[in-house]
């Protein structure tokens, strides 16, 4: 618990170290996806990205999903994001996701598979520190996903 507190304190201090240049973002989210043999699954997402320019960002994320029955998945991935344009609504983006898809089913072994996906979304900043980000993704092997992220920029 003490280590978690120290890490959070360090991140809080980093928020104010470069007040004019908020190039990094850390977020948590929820996703409804098709990570199940039948019907839908729900997942939780943890993501980090770093803006190299105003138009391009790199990131890492991991998602864990379950259909609340017998199937669970874990999806670690790298993200390559391109911002198309910005208006008063927010910044619209397209993103390529590449990673691994680990499929667990009760009573069976884990099945690892490659993951490839395309995502479109919108990042809406709330003040100078926070953001909300709805997105839609499609790819292999998950088929479809609808995600809502919220996070902090630093």
Is 76 inside a domain boundary?
yes
What CATH number is attached to the domain comprising 53?
2.40.160.20
Is 109 inside a domain boundary?
yes
Is 16 inside a domain boundary?
no
Total domains in the chain come to 1
What is the C-alpha separation between 76 and 62, in angstroms, rounded?
A: 4
- By CB atoms closer than 10 A (0-12, 13-18, 19+), residue 148 is middle
Q: Which domain holds residue 118?
A: 22-153
Alpha-helical (H) ranges within 64-133 are none
* Residues sharing a CB contact under 8 Å with residue 13, sequence separation 6 or more, in sequence order: none
Secondary structure of 5-55 in the HEC alphabet? HHHHHHHHHHHCCCCCCCCEEEEEEEEEECCCCCCCEEEEEEEEEEECCCC
pLDDT at 10 over 80: no
Q: Which one is predicted more confidently, 8 or 39? A: 39
Is 36 inside a domain boundary?
yes
Is 11 inside a domain boundary?
no
Is 41 inside a domain boundary?
yes
CB hemisphere CA count around 42 (13 angstroms): 4
Query: Would you state the structure tokens that stand for residue 150, as one six-digit string?
Result: 């919220």
Q: Which one is predicted more confidently, 24 or 21? A: 24
pLDDT at 117 over 80: yes
Is 5 inside a domain boundary?
no
Is 91 inside a domain boundary?
yes
């Amino acid at each position: 618990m003490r280590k978690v507190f120290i890490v959070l304190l360090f991140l809080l201090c980093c928020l104010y170290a470069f007040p004019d240049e908020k190039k990094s973002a850390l977020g948590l989210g929820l996703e409804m996806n098709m990570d199940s043999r039948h019907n839908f699954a729900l997942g939780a997402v943890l993501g980090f990205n770093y803006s190299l320019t105003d138009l391009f960002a790199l990131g890492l994320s991991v998602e864990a999903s379950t259909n609340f029955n017998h199937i669970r998945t874990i999806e670690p991935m790298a993200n390559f994001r391109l911002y198309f344009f910005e208006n008063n609504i927010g910044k619209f983006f397209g993103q390529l996701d590449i990673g691994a898809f680990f499929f667990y089913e009760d009573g069976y072994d884990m099945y690892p598979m490659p993951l490839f996906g395309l995502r479109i979304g919108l990042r809406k900043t709330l003040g100078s520190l926070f953001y909300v980000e709805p997105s839609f993704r499609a790819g292999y092997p998950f088929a479809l996903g609808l995600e809502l992220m919220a996070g902090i920029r630093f």
